[in-house]
Amino acid sequence: MSLTRRDFVKICGGTVAGLGISQMVHPGLLMAMEKEAQKAPVIWIQGQGCTGCSVSLLNAVHPSIKEVLLKIISLEYHPTVMAAKGELAMEHLFEVADKYEGKFFLAIEGSVPKAADGKYCYVGEKDGKHITMLEMTKMLGQKCAATLSLGTCSAYGGIPAAWGNLTDAVPVTQIYQENGIEKPVINVPGCPPHPDWMVGTIAHVLLYGIPELDNHLRPKLFFGSNIHDNCPYRGYYDQGVMSKTFTEKKACRYEIGCKAPHVNADCWKRRWNNGVNWCVENAVCIGCVEPGFPDSMSPFYEIV
Partner 1 sequence: MAGKKPEKAPGAYAPGQKIKVSVDPLTRIEGHLKVEVEVSNGVVVDARCTGPMFRGFENILIDRDPRDASQLVQRICGVCPTAHATASVRALDDAFNVKVNTNGRIMRNLIFGANYLQSHILHFYHLAALDYVNGPDVAPFVPRYENNDIRVDAATNAVGVDQYLKALEIRRICHEMVALFGGRMPHVQGLVVGGTTEIPEVDKIVGFKWRFKRVIDFIENEYLPLVYALGGVYPDLLETGEGCKNMISFGVFPEDDDESTFLLKPGVYTNGQDAPLDTDKILEYVKYSWFDDSTTGLHPSEGKTVPDPYKEGAYSFIKAPRYNDLPHESGPLARMWITNPELSPAAKAAGFNRMRDFGDKAFSILGRHIARAEEALIVAKAVEKWLGEVKPGEETYVHSEVPSQGEGMGLTEAPRGSLLHYIKIDDHYIENYQVIAATIWNASPRDDQGLRGPMEEALIGVPVPDPSSPVNVGRIVRAFDP
Q: What is the closest distance, in whole angstroms, from the C-beta atom of residue 284 to partner 1 in the complex?
A: 7
Q: What is the closest distance, in whole angstroms, from the C-beta atom of residue 179 to partner 1 in the complex?
A: 21
User: Is-catalytic flag, 12?
Assistant: no
- CA-based nearest residue to 158, from 236, 272, 50: 50
Closest to partner 1 by CB, 109 vs 217, is 109
Closest to partner 1 by CB, 144 vs 169, is 169
Residue 150 belongs to what H/E stretch? strand 146-150
Taking residues 214 to 253 in sequence order and writing x for each that binds partner 1 by CB under 8 A, - otherwise, the string is -------------------------------xxx-x----
Which of positions 115-154 make contact with partner 1 (CB under 8 A)? 116, 119-125, 128, 130
Which of positions 272-291 make contact with partner 1 (CB under 8 A)? 272-274, 276-279, 281-284, 286, 288
Which of positions 41-80 make contact with partner 1 (CB under 8 A)? 41, 46-56, 58-59, 61, 64-66, 69-70, 74-80
User: Is-catalytic flag, 258?
Assistant: yes
Hey, CA dihedral for 8, 13, 15, 16, is it positive or negative? positive
| 260, amino acid identity | A
User: Residues 12, 121, 144, 191: which is the catalytic one?
Assistant: 191
User: Is-catalytic flag, 252?
Assistant: yes
Closest to partner 1 by CB, 198 vs 279, is 279
Closest to partner 1 by CB, 52 vs 224, is 52
Closest to partner 1 by CB, 202 vs 286, is 286
Separation between Cα atoms, residue 56 and residue 60, nearest integer Å? 7
Closest to partner 1 by CB, 124 vs 141, is 124
Out of 150, 191, 205, 231, the only residue in the binding site for partner 1 (CB under 8 A) is 191
| 66, amino acid identity | K
| 174 lies in the binding site for partner 1 (CB under 8 A) | no
Separation between Cα atoms, residue 178 and residue 181, nearest integer Å? 8
- Angle at which helix 195-208 crosses helix 27-38, to 10 degrees, equals 110
Out of 82, 145, 146, 213, the only residue in the binding site for partner 1 (CB under 8 A) is 82
Per-residue DSSP letters for 266-287?
A: SHHHH-BTTTTB-HHHHS----
| Piece of the chain touching partner 1 by CB under 8 A; list 20-28, 138-146, 208-216, 293-301 | 293-301
Q: Residues touching partner 1: how many (CB under 8 A)?
A: 85
User: Is-catalytic flag, 121?
Assistant: no
Q: How far is CA 259 from CA 109, 255, 264, 269, 298, in A?
A: 24, 10, 10, 17, 9
User: What residues contact 142, with CB distance under 8 A and at least 6 apart?
Assistant: 181, 183
User: Residues 53, 78, 121, 194: which is the catalytic one?
Assistant: 53
| Alpha-carbon radius of gyration of the chain | 20
- CA-based nearest residue to 200, from 92, 27, 61, 1: 61
Separation between Cα atoms, residue 58 and residue 90, nearest integer Å? 24
Separation between Cα atoms, residue 200 and residue 223, nearest integer Å? 12
Out of 87, 98, 178, 229, the only residue in the binding site for partner 1 (CB under 8 A) is 87
User: Residues 12, 121, 144, 288: which is the catalytic one?
Assistant: 288
User: Is-catalytic flag, 144?
Assistant: no
Active-site residues, by number, are: 50, 53, 153, 191, 228, 231, 252, 258, 267, 279, 285, 288
